[in-house]
Structure 1
């Protein structure tokens, strides 16, 4: 398993964005095409899948099974769904 500290900062941030969007119900997210090298590196690690986006100069990326395992903690409860302490 790849640890967060094993990823360069930009790769880690992309994974965090994809994990956050996944938690909110989004299966994929659009990024600027300037991040193509980052996407390629994450895809080589089998953490994400990606393809050219429908908008010009965009990339559509999503977490793979390995990416979800890497970035999503079991039992995570989004703050908006958390029950306030009593």
Structure 2
């Protein structure tokens, strides 16, 4: 059963990374591209930045689901920007 959970987690994480890549390509929210540029300019690996950004997206998707409210893109964008402050 644990193998199935790991496969599901891997699939979900891959979809989150795909969503981040699409946000960067689409320029929405613009903070996605800005954060990617800022963190890679600081020497972080592209894939590491994608992972960090996917974690932020997952957190905000979970908050939206838990509170039964629409996804708050402004709070998400603010969460992304916090990545550049650490």
Q: Do they superpose with TM above 0.5?
A: no
Bin the TM-score by the shorter chain: under 0.3
Q: Write 1 or 2 for the structure with the bigger share of helix.
A: 2
Q: Write 1 or 2 for the structure with the bigger share of strand.
A: 1
TM-score by length of 2: 0.28
TM-score by length of 1: 0.28
